């Protein structure tokens, strides 16, 4: 017998879908001669794909790197950083909040002549979930070398930003989702901070994490998850906590609450129905857990979400 019920999305897809990312802008950026720019902290995720030439990138708190054609850089939190053609150039201060939008170009260094460096850069916001979800998944600087897939995706984001057409918002949102997934796939798990991405890099833990995400309404216990991972209870607990940064049941609670927040924002289900969706036997038990974790009752959270929307 074949089921017509679709399989639940994998854990990484669920997180990206929950973020509801959308591109804010994507600009063509070029530079010529000796130049350097110093960007103040932005606080939002930003990205850049380098199309031609090389330059130095120094992100505060991280080792400087040299980037060149085909490299994709993602800064989940975007602290202050310096981008330069050489170490000798005096940096020009830039305000990331005052950058042009709508696909307009940025030029560094000499204003005329063929550029030595070309790139596409932009930023995105998340419509609903806390962007800390993304920050928790990735290292402070993600640099993927020579990915034709990422290059193609960023080019499409830039084209959609420069030439708005019907359906553009939907297309940009899907493209940015793909950008995030590709960046996560390309990040070695050992370089990621403790969290889902590092957990999925462990073949034993990945089985338990995927089952937990696929059946968030199930009555999971540490013992049951350990069996899924083919580990002893103590080994699983220690390995999970070290890789993910939370104990198994703490992670399950946090993920259940993220799903509950999303369902409350959507406003289509009653609290009792949401309680069942996320594995609580009663609406009252769910309300107590939600209020303890989020700081508001489900009803108050839903009301505040509607007012904000």
* Number of alpha helices (DSSP H) and beta strands (DSSP E) in the chain: 12, 11
Q: Evaluate whether 142 touches 76 at the Cβ level (below 8 Å).
A: yes
Q: Whole domain around residue 109: which residue ranges?
A: 11-187
* 205 belongs to a structural domain: yes
CA distance 135 to 41: 15
Instruction: Answer yes or no: do 172 and 228 share one domain.
Output: no
Instruction: Answer yes or no: do 159 and 222 share one domain.
Output: no
Instruction: Answer yes or no: do 217 and 170 share one domain.
Output: no
pLDDT tens-digit series, residues 157-201? 777 766 778 887 788 778 877 888 888 888 888 888 888 889 999
Instruction: Answer yes or no: do 106 and 155 share one domain.
Output: yes
Instruction: Answer yes or no: do 263 and 294 share one domain.
Output: yes
Residue 73, domain CATH? 2.60.120.280
The number of distinct structural domains making up the chain is: 2
Q: Which residue has the higher pLDDT, 119 or 6?
A: 119
CA dihedral sign, ordered 209, 210, 216, 218? negative
* 261 belongs to a structural domain: yes
- Rounded mean pLDDT, 89-102: 83
pLDDT tens-digit series, residues 74-84? 898 899 999 99
Question: pLDDT class for 135, splitting at 50, 70, 90?
Answer: low
């Amino acid at each position: 017998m074949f089921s017509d019920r679709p399989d639940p999305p994998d854990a990484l897809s669920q997180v990206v879908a929950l973020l509801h990312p959308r591109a804010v802008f994507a600009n063509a950026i070029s530079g010529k001669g000796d130049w350097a720019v110093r960007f103040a902290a932005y606080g939002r995720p930003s990205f850049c794909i380098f199309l031609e030439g090389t330059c130095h990138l120094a992100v505060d708190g991280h080792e400087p790197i040299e980037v060149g054609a085909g490299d994709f850089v993602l800064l989940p939190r975007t602290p202050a950083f310096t981008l330069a053609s050489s170490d000798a150039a005096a940096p020009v201060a830039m305000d990331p909040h005052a950058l042009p939008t709508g696909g307009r170009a940025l030029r560094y260094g000499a204003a005329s002549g063929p550029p030595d460096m070309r790139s596409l850069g932009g930023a995105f916001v998340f419509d609903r979930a806390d962007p800390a979800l993304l920050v928790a998944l990735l290292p402070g600087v993600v640099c993927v070398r020579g990915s034709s897939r990422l290059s193609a995706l960023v080019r499409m984001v830039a084209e959609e930003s420069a030439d708005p057409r019907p359906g553009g918002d939907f297309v940009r949102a899907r493209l940015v989702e793909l950008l995030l997934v590709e960046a996560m796939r390309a990040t070695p798990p050992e370089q990621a901070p403790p969290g889902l991405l590092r957990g999925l890099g462990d073949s034993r833990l990945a089985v338990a994490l995927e089952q937990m995400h696929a059946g968030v309404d199930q009555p999971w216990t540490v013992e049951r998850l350990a069996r899924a991972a083919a580990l002893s209870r103590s080994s699983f607990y220690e390995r999970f906590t070290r890789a993910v940064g939370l104990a198994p049941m703490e992670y399950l609670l946090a993920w259940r609450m993220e799903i509950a927040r999303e369902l409350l924002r959507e406003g289509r289900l009653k609290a009792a129905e949401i309680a069942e969706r996320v594995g609580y036997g009663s609406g009252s038990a769910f309300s107590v857990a939600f209020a303890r974790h989020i700081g508001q009752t489900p009803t108050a959270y839903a009301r505040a979400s509607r007012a904000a929307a």
